[in-house]
Amino acid sequence: MGESNISSDNIRGHLDAIILRVLCEGDNYGYEIMKAIAKNSGGQYELKEPSLYTSLKRLEKQKQIVSYWGDETQGGRRKYYKVTSLGKEAYEAALESWKVAKAIIDQLIERQDKS
Residues making contact with another protein (CB under 8 A): 29-32, 35, 48-50, 53-54, 57, 61-62, 75-79
Closest CA to 19 of 61, 51, 42: 51
Shortest gap between Cβ of 96 and another protein (angstroms)?
A: 25
Q: Which H helix or E strand runs over 35?
A: helix 30-40
Q: Which residue's CB is nearer to another protein, number 29 or number 98? A: 29
Look up residue 4 and give its amino acid: S
Minimal distance, residue 39 CB to another protein, in Å: 12
Indicate if the alpha-carbon torsion angle 35, 98, 88, 65 is positive or negative.
positive
Distance of CA 10 to the CA centre of its chain: 13
Burial status of residue 91 (CB atoms within 10 A of its CB: 0-12, 13-18, 19 or more): buried
Q: Least Å distance between CB 47 and another protein?
A: 10
Considering the complex, what minimum distance in angstroms separates the CB of residue 107 from another protein?
36
Distance separating alpha carbons of residues 97 and 108, to the nearest angstrom? 16
